[in-house]
Amino acid sequence: MSDAKPIRLLIAALGGEGGGVLAGWISNAANASGHFSQRTSIPGVAQRTGATTYYIEILEGGAKARGQRPVLALNAAPGEVDLVAASELLETVRTIQAGYVSPDRTFLIASQSRVFTVDEKSAMGDGRLDPERMESVARKFAKEAVIADFAAAAAAARCQPNAVLLGAIAGSGKLPIPVETFRAAIEAEGKAVEANLRGFEAGLQIAAGAAAPAPERDVPAGPARTETAGEIETRARKSLPVVAANIAAEGVRRLLDYQGPEYASLYLDRLERFAAKPGIDATLVRELARHLAVRMSFEDTIRVAQLKLRGGRVGRLRDEAKVRERDIVEITEFLKPGPEEIFSLLPPALGRGVLRLVARMGWMEKSFPMKVRTTRVGGFLRLQMLAKLRGFRPRTLRYAEEQAWIERWLGLVERAAAVDVEAAREVVETARLVKGYGETYKRGRGNWDRIAAEIIEPFLAGQLPAGQFADAVLQSRLAALADPDGARLGNVIESVRSLSAERRIAAE
Amino acid sequence: MAEVSFHSEIQGLRLGNGETFYGEGILAVTKALLQSGVAYVGGYQGAPVTHLLDVLVQSGEMLEELGIHLETCTNEAAAAAMLGASINYPLRGAVCWKSIVGTNVASDALSNLASAGVVGGAMIIVGEDYGEGASVIQERTHAVALKSSMWLLDPRPELPTIVRLVEKGFELSEASNTPVILELRVRACHVFGSFEAKDNVAPAYSANNRLAPAKFQYNRLAHPPVTFPQEVAKFEHRLPAARKFILEHKLNERIGPERGDIGIIVQGGLFNALNSRLSLAGLSDAYGDVQLPTLVLNVTHPLVPEEITSFCAGKRAVLLVEEGSPDFIEQSIAHILRKADLNTKLHGKDFLLMAGEYTPLVLGKGLAQFLAAYGRKNEPLEDWIAGVEQRNGEVAKALSTALPPRPPTFCTGCPERPIFSAMKILKKEMGPVHVAVDIGCHALATFPPFSQGNSILGYGMSLASAAAVSGTQEHRPVSIMGDGGFWHNGLLSGVAGAVLNKDDEILIVMNNGYSSATGQQDLPSSAPEDDGRGRGVDIEDAVKSLGVRWIKRVRTYGVANVVKTLREALQTPDDGLKVIIADGECQLARQRRIRPERARLAAAGKRVERNRFWVDPEVCTGDHSCIRLSGCPSLTVKPNEDPLRTDPIAHVNNDCVGCGLCGEVSHAAQLCPSFAEINVIENPNLWDRARHRVSQALIRLFGGGQGRQAAPAAEPTLVPAE
């Protein structure tokens, strides 16, 4: 019997990423180096962006060593894989979960880049997995690991990530294949050779310990500092705890841009109301400052128009879409305001009247689809007209309603703080539920109203056991974000109500 | 034309004596067919055997030289019926498809073929879509071989053995007048390896050398009364002839030591997996030098009783490695041993799984148990199993949460996605409806974010599967079918049946132009192109001719119109079948066609327009309703750069092909004003430039352009054209 053991490689990738090509390069380079290699895969429908794997075995010396054909496996065995290369962080962890990465054996080459699953990206809040935890799992279970952002490296080299992974595999020195032979395999493939060789070099550098380029960060063209900002900011820094002051200063800038100095002062007035209260800590004020600024800069039609006319927006967008300087970009905005968005720009009494009429006519579902070309003067003027209504905003129905909501929310926070500061913290967080436009906004407000009326108020009225207050608010907020139909929220409210029933029974 | 181009692989098919073929398993089968002198080849596409047909479709010239007839059949039944040519004529023929599903569709023709028997070798190549990566119900093709008395080959998964079994398979078929099934698992179809090629053989009779029609011979018909003697012939003549051939040509392999008190019998296709576990146990090596007596069954039906008994005689026990359920081989071997009065203990499904794939861990555990039971407790094997299980526990602890699954999804810009967005919008308005799902890309709508569908009954069967649901619910049932399923089976089983029975239901046909899920093969309705097989048959004409009165055509990307049309179909007083033909070309095919063309024009300095979508990061509030109505891979999330917000915001990446769904959905569902369409005019002409300059000047005049604050340095960067 021979002692020769095949070297085993597993590639984890998403369908359509070129994992098959990568496996081909490796396998061809192995054969060209005088070894015997075998590769296989299970593409199937997974080629349509699903998770999939490719498996390679390489027997050094190959057939020549024995004058006999090797018998190699077609499946990876857990605990017996020498090198795992994965193009994405979650897929890396999936191969670890399947047992293919072992601390006594496996050299792991993994990309930090994420391609979010539908579950993660369709969550109503933040459904993303914790990348640090995944990376630490990867490091923990690999014998050695090269973990870098291969997608960013590929983007920088203007090639597919598979070429960069190949470079890292070649550079790892774990395979009995000269680097030159890998290059030759790319050349022999004959497709996008230059780009792939660029990626290959980038991968070699990653393996040699060079850091992959940091992924591009988008920085929105936010409002700039002005003199007034300086003044009000100073006030914020004086009157608010240090932890909260930075966020509050950001809030001030946001609201100056949104409405004006008076409105920004109103923001600080509201915050200072809390900062002075005994028992309320700095982190609560900080979170309050965050949510209050967001809620006070509610996204009415005027705000949307303002954002869409921001300078620097076109440049940023050109960057993102990789547009060359000599090319022309046209931007078409997709807007579709409904009756609520339009008539809430009227003064409260009139607006309410019109909306009642619209509802009576059954027109609430009607809306006005518009495609506005902001790069043409006509489209620009339409939006500019809207944006110029800014001065009129405090007299609109929407403004009145938003301020009423904010006061109600702040009132609940205040009352909750008097009972239990942890509960107050959770009441602050409920503001997260109110966001977006149209349906989303209505759903969020609806959920918030339910939580306020059926959870927060009963606790404040002492109808429910005080010890459960904070947790009940937290659970109901999470439930509201669990599904768009409000089913989970219904369940949570039901179970909180049963607390009150239990209490009654116990009392009796 | 198919997704993959086989330009270089075709050269491999032309190799001659002594040259080395290197390539994929399924293409080695293709080469083996040519070396065996096949006169005709047919089949229906489906993973993992699709490449066999795709490569031949692209090898027209070579097939013409050899005189081989190639048929891209409309379904597997048609492919199986094609083998009828071998009943009367000395023509070798091969057909292929995905099994078990294709075999089920084919089984009427197969039964008739198997009853009449063949004079020319007939081979059915099936991709056994079983275990990891499979996309169909988990059943064994073995059952069909048994019930129709066809022989089943399950070769060791390495190219020389696969090729030998193809060649020998034809001889076996002719020696026993029986069709032969060659079964290849997914990984065997896709394994890359080499074998020493032989010259291709032109068939004796073909278009190049015609033969006379067969004489009338009633006993060649599968028709009573000769069906009775045909059944007898299967067991009296064909079976013994097959067994004799299998023994004489050593199709099964005895390896390892001659003697030993225990041994292993294994399906050929599982040998490599078994060998890797035996190697770990120190009972074999990387060259398959097995230290336990082993019988490799490259033919799993029929078994040869003498071969089994001579292997088992004198052994205390044998372990049978047979994947899948029921345990057909185990039952047969038990039967053979009993009849031969041998008391060798037979193990199989008691140590290995009754159902499911035989992964290395399953095989390792079964082998360890077997060895331990006969006093050969194997430490390396048991240590490995214990290690794997311990680490699994550690990983689970370290992860602490379940990993989200990543099923396949519609491609970026897929024309089918908007239909499901529309259905989701309409569901909110009208409440749920019964949805009958079919086979094809559109079945991906059963996964999030659409998560819809009540039943899947097979390819082209959705409409038929909703027949008894129609009339029982508040709303009419909606059946989804692709153009692939429509031509495969749906037109007759579904549309004709619904018209005949006046079923009050709705059918949506996805007319994307190809059999897309399997790699964009041409269908009767595909546009006729120079080198394609499409004939441009109109689906609308087809259903009209069957008597459907209510037919609407929609452009899939027009979501609002799709919603309107679907609502109309649900509400119209017309109580017959309502057909909506959803037009939108497969985006993969479209991009493959237009991308190089566009790049060429742009490089040549010609004016090119491209569009894509963009999410305004300041306007998006991070609710992701848009993603729940789309699921497009290019519509994703990214961190919120706003220090005041933490929920990630929606983001369109550069894979966007500008299909327009994002904008349509945000309009149709009245989502939010975050979406914008960007039109990039590359190499603008004079008129473009003049218009742009005037617009910019006017905007500046009205106070726009630089914005209310100095724009951060966001000068467009120069990116070389790809």
DSSP, collapsed to helix, strand or coil, labels residue A40 as strand
Q: Measure Cα distances from B488 to B76, B98, B461, B691 in Å.
A: 8, 14, 9, 52
Residue A375 forms contact with B (CB below 8 Å): yes
- Is-contact B300 B294, C-beta < 8 A? no
User: In whole angstroms, what is the distance from residue B132 CA to residue B141 CA?
Assistant: 17
Residues of A in contact with B641 (CB under 8 A): 217-220
DSSP SS3 for B196: strand
Residue where one domain finishes, among candidates A369, A395, A421: A395
Is A2 domain-assigned? Answer: no
Subunit contact A330:B678, Cβ cutoff 8 A: yes
SS3 B146: helix
* List of chain A residues whose C-beta atoms are within 8 Å of the C-beta of residue B675: 333-334
In contact, A62 and B152? CB cutoff 8 Å: no
**Residues A467, A408: one domain?**
yes
Instruction: Establish if A126 belongs to a structural domain.
Output: yes
pLDDT in tens, A377-405: 999 999 999 999 999 999 999 999 999 99
- Which of B237, B271, B241, B269 has the alpha carbon at shortest distance from B256? B271
Residue B714 has pLDDT above 90, yes or no: no
Q: Which residue has the tokens 């960013």?
A: A152
**B514 lies in some domain:** yes
Interface test with B, best of A330, A335, A374, A483 (most B CBs within 10 A): A330
pLDDT tens per residue across span B397-406 = 999 889 999 9
Q: Are residues A382 and A404 in the same domain?
A: no
**Residue B679 within any structural domain of the chain:** yes
Task: Look up the domain containing A321 and give its range.
Answer: 311-395
At B470-480, the pLDDT tens digits run: 999 999 999 99
Residue A36 has pLDDT above 70, yes or no: yes
Q: Is residue A214 part of a domain?
A: no
In a domain, B504, yes or no: yes
pLDDT of amino acid B465? 97
8 Å CB contact of B287 and A299:
no
Q: How confident is the model at residue B713 (pLDDT cuts 50, 70, 90)?
A: very low
- Output the domain CATH number for residue B261: 3.40.50.920
- β-pair partners for B478: B435, B506
Residue A39 above 70 pLDDT? yes
Q: What does the alpha-carbon distance between residue B185 and residue B198 come to, in Å, rounded to a whole number?
A: 25
Residues A182 and A279 in one domain: no
> What per-residue confidence (pLDDT) applies to B711?
34
What is the tens place of the pLDDT at every residue in B303-346? 999 999 999 999 999 999 999 999 999 999 999 999 999 999 99
Q: How many Cβ atoms are within 10 Å of A42's Cβ, its own excluded? A: 23
- End residue of a domain, out of A186, A207, A228: A207
Q: Are residues B551 and B678 in the same domain?
A: no
**Which chain A residues have a beta carbon less than 8 Å from that of B290?**
none
Tell me if B109 is assigned to some domain.
yes
CB B463 within 8 A of CB B495: yes
pLDDT, tens digit (0-9, with 9 covering 90-100), for B249-277: 999 999 999 999 999 999 999 999 999 99
A111 is a domain residue: yes
A123 plus A238 within the same structural domain: no
**B544 in the same domain as B513:** yes
Q: What pLDDT, on a 0 to 100 scale, did the predictor assign at position A149?
A: 96
Q: Find the DSSP H helices in A396-468.
A: 397-419, 421-429, 438-451, 457-460
Q: In angstroms, rounded to a whole number, what is the distance separating the alpha carbons of residues A141 and B558?
A: 49
pLDDT at A169: 97
- A375-380 long-range contacts, CB within 8 A, separation 24+: A375/A314, A375/A329, A375/A330, A375/A331, A375/B692, A375/B695, A375/B699, A376/A330, A376/B695, A377/B695, A377/B698, A377/B699, A377/B702, A379/A333, A380/A309, A380/B698, A380/B699, A380/B702, A380/B704
Residues B497 and B565 placed together within one structural domain of the fold: yes
Q: What percent of chain B has pLDDT over 90?
A: 87
State whether A329 and B678 contact (CB < 8 Å): yes
**Predicted local distance difference test score (pLDDT) of residue A49:** 76
Residue B601 lies in a domain: no
B426 and B483 fall within a common domain: yes
Do A13 and A126 lie in one domain? The reply is yes
Token code pair at residue A415: 């009352």
The answer to whether the CB atoms of B684 and A327 lie below 8 A apart is yes
Distance in angstroms (rounded) separating the CA atoms of residues A469 and A456: 8
DSSP state of B594: H
pTM score, two decimals? 0.93
Q: Find the CB nearest A311 among B396, B560, B709.
A: B709
**Which pLDDT score, from 0 to 100, does residue A15 have?**
82
Q: How many CB pairs under 8 A join A and B?
A: 396
pLDDT range class, residue A66, cuts 50, 70, 90: low
Q: Does the CB of A287 have a partner CB in chain B at under 8 Å?
A: no
Same domain (yes/no): B557, B667: no
Ranking A241-245, A263-267, A363-367 by mean pLDDT, the lowest is: A363-367
pLDDT in tens, B594-640: 999 999 998 999 999 999 999 999 999 999 999 999 989 999 999 99
B8 pLDDT tier (thresholds 50, 70, 90): confident
Q: How many residues does chain B have?
A: 722
Q: State the CB neighbour count (10 A cutoff) for residue B140.
A: 23
Of A453, A451, A468, nearest to A503 by C-alpha is A468
Instruction: Give chain A's mean pLDDT.
Output: 90
Pair (A81, A144) in one structural domain: yes
- Within this chain, do residues B302 and B351 fall inside the same structural domain, yes or no? yes
* Domain-located, residue A305: no
Question: Could you tell me if A270 and A329 lie in one domain?
Answer: no
The full DSSP string for A452-508 is: IIIIIHHHHTT-S-GGGHHHHHHHHHHHHTT-TT-HHHHHHHHHHHHHHHHHHHHH-
**What is the structure's pLDDT at A37?**
95
Residue type, B8: S
Contact between chains at A323 and B403 (C-beta distance less than 8 A): no
Most B-contacting residue of A48, A258, A335 (CB-CB within 10 A), to test interface:
A48
Is there a single domain that holds both residue A108 and residue A253? no
Same domain flag for B231 and B261: no
Q: Of A360, A395, A430, which marks where a domain is finished?
A: A395
Q: Is residue A213 part of a domain?
A: no
Share of chain A above pLDDT 70, in %: 93
Residue B387 has pLDDT above 60, yes or no: yes
Alpha-carbon gap, residue A112 to A404, rounded angstroms: 45
Q: Do the Cβ atoms of A437 and B411 come within 8 Å?
A: no
Task: Name the pLDDT band for A211 (thresholds 50, 70, 90).
Answer: low
How much is the average pLDDT of A241-262?
Answer: 93
**Looking at the complex, does the CB of residue A132 fall below 8 Å from at least one CB of chain B?**
no
Residue B158 — pLDDT band, cuts 50, 70, 90? very high
Cβ(A46)–Cβ(A20) under 8 Å?
no
CATH number for the domain spanning B641: value is: 3.30.70
8 A C-beta contact, residue B105 and residue B76 = yes
CB count in 10 Å sphere of residue A163: 28
**Which uninterrupted H or E stretch holds B380?**
helix B379-399
pLDDT of residue B418: 97
Find the mean pLDDT for residues A187-197.
Answer: 93
Tokens 């005088």: give the residue. Answer: A34
When mean pLDDT is compared over A363-372, B386-395, B649-658, the highest value belongs to B386-395
Query: Is A489 inside a domain boundary?
Result: yes
Q: How far is A309 from chain B (nearest CA, A)?
A: 7
Residue in chain B lying closest to A190 (CA): B8
DSSP letter (8 states) at residue B490? I
Scanning A176-215 for CB atoms below 8 A from B yields: none
A369 has a chain B CB within 8 A of its CB: yes
The three-state (H, E, C) secondary structure of A122-185, written as one string:
CCCCCCCCCHHHHHHHHHHHCCEEEEECHHHHHHHHCCCHHHHHHHHHHHHCCCCCCHHHHHHH
pLDDT at B570: 97
**Interface contact A43, partner B, CB < 8 A:** yes
pLDDT at B717: 35
Q: Are residues B168 and B111 part of one domain?
A: yes
B contact test, residue of A17, A22, A41, A71 with most B CBs within 10 A? A71
- Structural domain count of chain B: 4
Distance CA B264, CA B329 (A): 13
Distance from C-alpha of B98 to C-alpha of B138, rounded to nearest angstrom: 12
* Co-location of A194 and A61 in the same domain: yes
In a domain, B292, yes or no: yes
Q: Which two tokens stand for residue A288?
A: 């309050």
Same domain as A223, residue A201: no
Work out the end-to-end distance of chain A between its first and last CA atoms, rounded to an integer number of angstroms. 82
Cα nearest neighbour of B608 on chain A: A327
CATH of the domain at B508: 3.40.50.970
- Give B650→chain A minimum CA distance, Å: 8
Domain that holds residue B652: 607-700
Average pLDDT over residues B700-719: 50
Decide if B648 and A128 are in contact by the 8 Å CB cutoff. Answer: yes
- Position A86 scores a pLDDT of 97
Flag whether B705 is in a domain. Answer: no
Confidence of residue A163 (pLDDT cuts 50, 70, 90): very high
Distance CA B142, CA B181 (A): 9
Q: Is B641 inside any structural domain?
A: yes
User: Using the beta-carbon criterion (under 8 Å), do B408 and A49 form an inter-chain contact?
Assistant: yes
Confidence of residue B720 (pLDDT cuts 50, 70, 90): very low
Do B166 and B195 have their domain in common?
yes
Reported as a single tens digit per residue, the pLDDT across A324-349 is 888 999 999 998 888 999 999 999 99
Pair (B264, B234) in one structural domain: no
Do A252 and A148 share a structural domain? Answer: no
Range of lowest pLDDT (B63-77, B238-252, B296-310, B652-666): B652-666
Q: What is the pLDDT of residues A87-127, one digit of tens each?
A: 999 999 999 999 999 999 999 999 999 999 999 999 999 99
| Domain contains A443 | yes
Question: Which of B195, B227, B247 corresponds to the end of one domain?
Answer: B247
Q: Are residues A190 and A232 in the same domain?
A: no
Same domain, B202 and B120: yes
Q: Do B272 and B198 lie in a common domain? A: no
Q: Classify B150 as helix, strand or coil.
A: coil
Task: Output DSSP code: residue B521.
Answer: B
- pLDDT of B130 reads 94
Question: How close is the nearest chain A Cα to the Cα of B94, in Å?
Answer: 23
Closest CA to B73 of B102, B100, B44, B47: B44
